[in-house]
A and B are shown apart, each in its own frame.
Chain A
Amino acid sequence: MEFTETQINRYSRHILLPEVGGKGQKKIIQAKVLIVGAGGLGSPAALYLAAAGIGTIGLIDSDVVDLSNLQRQVIHQTPDVGRPKVVSGKEKIQALNPDVNVVMYEERLTAGNALKIMGGYDVVIDGVDNFPTKFLINDACYFAGKPLVHGGILRFDGRVTTIIPKQSACYRCVFKKPPPEGLVASCQEAGVIGVLAGIIGTIQATEALKLILGIGRPLTDRLLDFDARRTQFREIRIKRNPDCPLCGERPTITELMEDGDVAGPTCALPGQRNL
C-alpha cells in the first residue's frame, strides 16, 4: 500500500518516530484489533486505536448506553443514552478517523461465538466487567492463539497485563477460576473512579500498538497494578504456572466453555481493604 497525502499528514507524528516510521504505520493500518466491551476500558482504547489508524476495530457489546455509563465511558455521549453501545462507538470512531473499518457485534461473547469472532483479529483487548467473560476471553485467546491485553478496574485500583498464549503467563496461571459468586458484590455497589478507565484503557491501547509494531517489551509475565489514591504503579512478576488448568502441564480445560454465570457484572473484593 501507498500512503495518501491525507494519511501522511494524519499520521505524521507517528511516522516521525524511528520505531514506527512509514513501515510501522503501515502495520498499524493493516492491523485488526478486537475490543470486547465498549465501555469504560473499551472507550479510551477504541478512541486511541482509531486515532492511531488501526485498520479494523471490532467492537463487541450487547448493551445500550445508560446515563450512569457516561461518568467513565467516554466514547458515548449524552444523546447516545438508550442507543446500542456498538452503534454509538462506531460513530465516534469513524468521526475521529473515517479510515477505520468498524465491525459491530451487538451480542455477548460466548463459548459458542468467541473463536469464530477472534479468528479474524491480531490482538484482543479485554474491556469486560464480569469474571466469567474475563476467563472466557483468556481461554478463547489461548485456543485461538491470539495475544490478549487484559485490563481490570475497581474503585481506585486498576490492573493491566499482556498475555501471549503458550509463551507467557495467562490469567488462569494466577487466578485459576472465577471467584465464588456469593462472595462478589456488583460493580454498581463497589463503584469506580471514572478516570481510572482512561488510565488503564490507554495502557491497553499502548500494549496493543506495541504488539502490532513489534517494538519494546510487552507487559507479559507482569501484572501492572495502579493505585489512583497514591498515584503509584506496582509491577508484580508472574510466570507460567505448571499447574495452570489451561496452559499448564496437565490441563483440565481442553475446550472452550463458559466458567460461571455471565448474567451479572461482578467486581468487588471482600478483604482488599485490609492491606
Chain B
Amino acid sequence: MQVMINGKAEEIAGGTVLDLLKAKSIEPQMVAVEVNDTMLERTHLETTQLKDGDHVEFLFYMGGGR
C-alpha cells in the first residue's frame, strides 16, 4: 500500500507506525509522529495500524540555533 511520508509517496508493507519506524531504523524517542494531522502518543505507535493513503509526518528534533 501507499502512504505519504514527510510529503513523499512511499510503498510500504503495512503494519503499525512502530513497524515503520523500525523499518527505517528511527529511534521512537527521537521523533514525534503525526498521522493525518493528529499527533500520536508514544504509547499509540504500536497500536496504530497504517492504512492506504495515510499521511505520516516524522518530526525530528531540531535543536541548534547558535
Contacts and interface: CB of A to CB of B under 8 A. Distances in A.
A228 to B, nearest CB: 13
B63 A131 contact: yes
Contact of A272 (B7, B60, B66): B60
Interface in B19-66: 24-27, 29-32, 34, 37-39, 41, 57-66
A73 B31 CA distance: 28
B64 A274 contact: no
8 contacts: A128-B66, A131-B61, A173-B39, A174-B59, A175-B32, A238-B39, A272-B60, A274-B26
Interface size class of A (residues with CB under 8 A): 35 or more
A213 interface: no
Interface residues of B, number: 26
Contacts of B6: 234, 275
B65 A271 contact: no
B12 interface: no
Interface in A91-146: 126-131, 134
A179 B25 contact: no
B30 A154 contact: no
B62 A174 contact: no
A153 B61 contact: no
B9 interface: no
Contacts of B62: 152-154, 157-159, 267, 269
Nearest to B7: A234
Given A267-B61, A269-B30, A269-B62, 12 more contacts: A39-B65, A40-B65, A152-B63, A154-B63, A157-B62, A184-B61, A197-B65, A236-B57, A266-B63, A267-B62, A271-B26, A275-B5
A183 B63 contact: no
Contacts of B31: 271
A174 B39 contact: yes
A64 B26 CA distance: 36
A41 B63 contact: no
